[in-house]
Structures are given as C-alpha cells and as structure tokens.
Amino acid sequence: MGLDTSGRPRTELGTGDAPGCGPLRGARQSGAQPLRQQIYEQVRSAGHISRAVLAKDLEVSPGSVTPLVSDLLAQDLLYEVPDESQHHGRGRPPVTLGVNPGRGLVAGLKLSDHEHSALLVDLAGHPVASATLPRRDDVRSVESLLDEVEALFARLTEAAGPGTPPILGIGLGMPGMIDHATGRLRWSPIVSDRDVDLAAAVSARMGLPVSVDNDANLLTMAELWFGRGRSLSDFAVVTIEYGVGLGLVVDHAPYRGGHGYGMELGHTKVQLDGALCRCGQRGCLEAYVADFALVREAPIALDGALPPRGKVLEALYDQAKDGNEAAKAIFERAARYLAVGLANVANIFDPRRIILSGSRMRYDYLYAEEMLAEVPSLTLNRPPPIEVNAWDDLVWARGAAALALSDLTPRLLA
C-alpha cells in the first residue's frame, strides 16, 4: 500500500488477490459464534456476497439468513450494493451485501523504540489514514508513553481530515510481554514501568475501548486478516526484528499460550552454554540471529570502521553485497541458526505454512535458498512451505487495526 503526502492511502489494503478482510474460514470453523456474527464476518471476509451464496457458505437455509440480514441492514452494519457484474439485460441488477464502511473506524497503533506508527481503517478493513511519530528518547514511564499515544492519535485523526465516521476502538501493540486477555503489560524493552494495566490506562486516557498485544502477535494478525494467512487454518509467523518472534494461528485464530505472553522462539536454546543473550541466559536462538548478535560481530568484518549506532547492520549488509567475505559469513551463520529455529517450529507445531514476515526481511541472506534448503535435513517429516512476506513499516499498525476489529466485532453485534 502506498500513501500520499497527506497520509491518505493511495491503494486498497489487502492481499491483492482476495477482496474483503479477516480470516477466510468455512462454516465448520465459524460454528461457535451466534449466526448473526457469523453472517457479518462472512460478509466482511468475502468483501461482497449475495444472500444465496452467504447461506450456502455458512451451510444454513436462506430462510434463517434473511431476517438476520434485514436486522443488520436496519442497524447500518451491512449495506446493499448492486452487482453490475451479474447484471445482464433490463430490470434491477442483483444485489450483494457488504460491511458498511461508514458505520465506524478503528485505530491500530504500534509503539516501538524508534518510531511509533498508526493506521486508521474502516469496518470493512479499508485504510483511511496513517501517521507516524518519532519516539522521544526520554520517554520511559507509562505516563509519558500515554502522552505519546495521544500525540500519535491526534496526528492520525488530523491525517484523516474532518467528517470521518466515529472511531469505535483502538488496537495497540509493542514489543515485550503483554497479555491480550487481561490487558496487562508485564515487561517491555521500551517502558521502564513493570506490571501495568496498559489497556485500562490507554482506554482511560483516550475514552475508547482498547485491546493490547505484543508485536509478534500484531504481525500474525496482519497475516491472518490482510496477508497470506487468510485462508490457512494453521500457520506460523516468524519475524526477525530486534529479536526473533513467533506467532501461531490455530484453527483460524491466534494462539496466545496459557498465560497470554506469546511464544519466545528467540529464547529457545540452540546451543548449551552458547553465546550470551540479552535476556541473561546462554545459547538462545536470538543470540545468533537477532540484530544485536550480528552487530556484535560487525567490528571485525568492517575492519574497525564502525558506522554510527543504528547504522551498523545496514553497513554490514552493504559490505556483504559488495563481496566482503567476513560480512557475508556473519549473515550466513545467522541464517543457518535461523534454519534450526524454523525446523524446530515445523517439528513442534506441524503448521501448514511458515511465513517469514516483517519489514526486516530485506536482509535476504537470512532466508537465502541455501539456508531454506537446510530445513528439511533438520525435520522428521517434510517441512511446510516457507514463504517470505516483506511488508512495509505499517504492517504492525495494520495488525493492530486487525486486533481492534477482531475485538470490536462481538461488541458491535451484541
């Protein structure tokens, strides 16, 4: 998706090959929700759909769909669109149903240690506006973080301009241990406070319902709602940014673990008594693959000519591209460890696909063909296809918007 200078999206957001947004699950996986919610979600994931196809997809009779659709239309949650593609000849064209985008918006916010980003989407998943805010270095307490959330939100609504539908909810994510179910932030590298009721604090400040999650889960939500995981029941998302994150989707829904703190693939051990990790333990996958692990080895490859902090990885990558063997070896070693991590994910979870996702995927040495070719030799069964999805920097905010939409839906339809 591109954005013009005003922050307004130029193109539609989505997978590019499928209309609508949200998980594309069949009737059998939708069964737990009330039929009314199933109808709304089915329409949203289809983009536009006729009543007849809707009933067929949900495996219910048209008679049971009709009154519920009428009710959703009366509440402005759905709207009717003439289907010109099916219109041959005279008379009124057949009508399809769509989620009414004008009913409201949700905001997705991603806080990070260098730049915060935000995306406003309507209830049909279309982007309305985006904004970014450089992070102030001195911000460490939750209270000052709330000031930044407010400033980011103000930029977002300003970019959207006047006359937009009401904002009905906020999804917010950041790195760290964040429990989506309780809204508690246990620990984050970008905040000094510990064990805070983050969702309640942001909600009190902004006057809106707020859902929180960790950044790996945001990325997983982006893949599940807008990306390559929409039609997959079970898949894993692995991301390499400041650490190595893992998100898991089971039966079309994110799996968040028994305590809701996410899956720490980066701190699974790949070497007993191995390299020191920033978590304080030794031999973690992250200690061989993450940024800090590559930067740690950079001085020798760069022959002491160290660029400023924050630019080291970039310089190392350029050197590797220019044929610097030592720089190349650093990336290749990291890639071999990543292959071990991916093989472990395949061995433990048996996902239908592993998606290597995030904006950092431009360091293509990390997922070179030779690296991916090592994975089968480390798994017992044939490993799942491994796909690379290199998103732009707004992917996290997009996932946060999906989080907000997902949590808003049952409230909206209650």
Q: Which residues bind Zn ion (CB under 5 A)?
A: 267, 277, 279, 281, 284
Least distance from C-beta 265 to Zn ion, angstroms? 10
Least distance from C-beta 9 to Zn ion, angstroms? 38
Nearest CB to Zn ion, comparing residues 221 and 240: 240
Contacts of 191 (CB under 8 A, 6+ apart): 140, 141, 142, 145, 174, 176, 185
Least distance from C-beta 274 to Zn ion, angstroms? 10
Nearest CB to Zn ion, comparing residues 285 and 394: 285
Kindly state the tokens that stand for 400: 């946060």
Contacts of 88 (CB under 8 A, 6+ apart): none
Least distance from C-beta 273 to Zn ion, angstroms? 13
Pairwise CA distance, residues 83 & 94, whole Å: 6
How far, rounded to the nearest angstrom, does the alpha carbon of residue 35 sit from its chain's CA centroid? Answer: 27
Nearest CB to Zn ion, comparing residues 213 and 264: 264
Nearest CB to Zn ion, comparing residues 267 and 360: 267
Nearest CB to Zn ion, comparing residues 269 and 353: 269
Least distance from C-beta 170 to Zn ion, angstroms? 31
Least distance from C-beta 284 to Zn ion, angstroms? 3
Pairwise CA distance, residues 71 & 93, whole Å: 22
Pairwise CA distance, residues 118 & 105, whole Å: 13
Contacts of 45 (CB under 8 A, 6+ apart): 20, 21, 22, 23, 24, 25, 230
How far, rounded to the nearest angstrom, does the alpha carbon of residue 8 sit from its chain's CA centroid? Answer: 20
Nearest CB to Zn ion, comparing residues 242 and 391: 242
Nearest CB to Zn ion, comparing residues 26 and 283: 283
Least distance from C-beta 321 to Zn ion, angstroms? 29
Least distance from C-beta 337 to Zn ion, angstroms? 13
Residue 7 falls in which region: left (phi positive, over 0), alpha (psi -120 to 50) or beta? left
Answer for the pair 247, 220: CB distance below 8 angstroms, yes or no: yes
- CA 261-263-269 angle, to 5 degrees, is 130
| Strands laid side by side in the 184-187 sheet | 177-179, 184-187, 196-197
Nearest CB to Zn ion, comparing residues 284 and 403: 284
Pairwise CA distance, residues 345 & 85, whole Å: 44
Nearest CB to Zn ion, comparing residues 277 and 294: 277
Least distance from C-beta 327 to Zn ion, angstroms? 24
Nearest to 223 by CA among 242, 246, 244: 246
Instruction: Collapse the DSSP code of 211 into the 3-class scheme (helix H, G, I; strand E, B; otherwise coil) and give the result.
Output: strand
Kindly state the tokens that stand for 74: 């009366």
Any idea which residue has 């490993």 for tokens?
383
Nearest CB to Zn ion, comparing residues 212 and 284: 284
Nearest CB to Zn ion, comparing residues 99 and 284: 284
Nearest to 46 by CA among 62, 61, 27, 32: 27
Least distance from C-beta 238 to Zn ion, angstroms? 16
Least distance from C-beta 189 to Zn ion, angstroms? 13
Listing DSSP states for 302-326 in one string gives TTT-PPPTTSHHHHHHHHHHTT-HH
Pairwise CA distance, residues 59 & 7, whole Å: 42
